[in-house]
Amino acid sequence: MKTSFQIGKILGIPIKLHITFLLILPVFALVFATNPAPFGFQDQTTPLMNYLLSLLTTILLFVCVLLHELGHSYVAQRYGVEIKDITLMLIGGVSSMEEIPRNPSQELKMAFAGPFVSLILGTTIYLSNFLAASMIFSYASTPIYMMFNILGSINIVLGLFNLLPAFPMDGGRLLRAWYAKRMNYVQATHYAASIGKLFAFFMGIIGLFYNAWLILIAFFVYIGASEEDKSTTVTVTLEKYTVSDVMSPDVTSVPPDMTIDALLSFMFENRHMGYPVIEGNSLKGIVTLSDVHKVPPLDRVVLQVRDIMTTDVVSLPVNAKASEAFKLMMSNNIGRLLVVDSNGSVAGILSRTDLMRAMMLSNEQL
């Protein structure tokens, strides 16, 4: 099922809306519509105009979030980082980047760009609105004044919140960039993540006494810091190896004319849940246990592997970095990759288990 769709391009970057954005849009509008001034439109206009203004405020707010992400992306592009897309979703905006720059100065500038855009936007909107109110009689009592006041305030809060020194906020990346000037990248990430976890712990304690929402944010921050720490450690460690160093060269394949019933028996005997499908020397696809599960038991005697295999095969060349394989597995949510040589023939197969084994052996050598 497609969970996001593209609505346009800015700076050559595809802009997408996630399905969760469509769900949160009316919720935000309802919050603005049912709250009194200065952060809502309750009792300010007719009910219809109330909800229209609330919806417009919500849309403009997410436009500001998009500009925040474009700030990151613009600086990243200047340093040669490929931006696959920007997706607006439940938690705000997310820039999908090829890789975050390891250069501390570059990461610092890139991380600060988003909050900087939000702070500039918020300050400009807030001051412009204030000046307009001082020059135009009774403007301060209009819903338009309230709308821009809300947008200005939220952008300033968004900018300051993202500067908090904890992953996954931009402040966590700023802190890592500061540490990375004094130590290696893995250690810098570990220290920055540890401070983020400590920050999340204290935020959760405060939330117990004052606001339950802080507990949810603290949980989000703690998980984000842990994932960043783990992901960075794995990626940097695997950069030492090429795919050929850690792959399994002995590839067990199946023919496309094998029946599903025979495939199940084959899987049971060989104890693997996925196999490349090869006919002669030609790679036709890949078949996994998940594909088999989609076939009703009565059809497994009739249908063949060619009927259920995946033909869009994700593969890597033998000289690729093992870290590239890890990123490819994570982005495609798959457990194994086929490795091909310069002739396009299958040279091996690489699984998450192979990568984790390489990680364990590397740690033993330290």
Residue positions annotated with a catalytic role: 69
Token output for 58: 């919500």
Cis before 38 (ω within 30): yes
Long-range contacts, stretch 296-300, CB < 8 angstroms, 24+ apart: 299/260, 300/259, 300/260, 300/261, 300/264
Find, among 78, 154, 130, the residue nearest to 109 by Cα. 78
Bridge partner residues of 286 (DSSP)? 276, 310
The Cα 163–Cα 166 span in angstroms is: 8
User: How far is the CA of 220 from the CAs of 91, 141, 254, in angstroms?
Assistant: 10, 38, 43
What is the number of alpha carbons within 13 Å of residue 228 lying toward its C-beta?
Answer: 28
Instruction: Check if the beta carbon of residue 170 is closer than 8 Å to that of residue 177.
Output: no
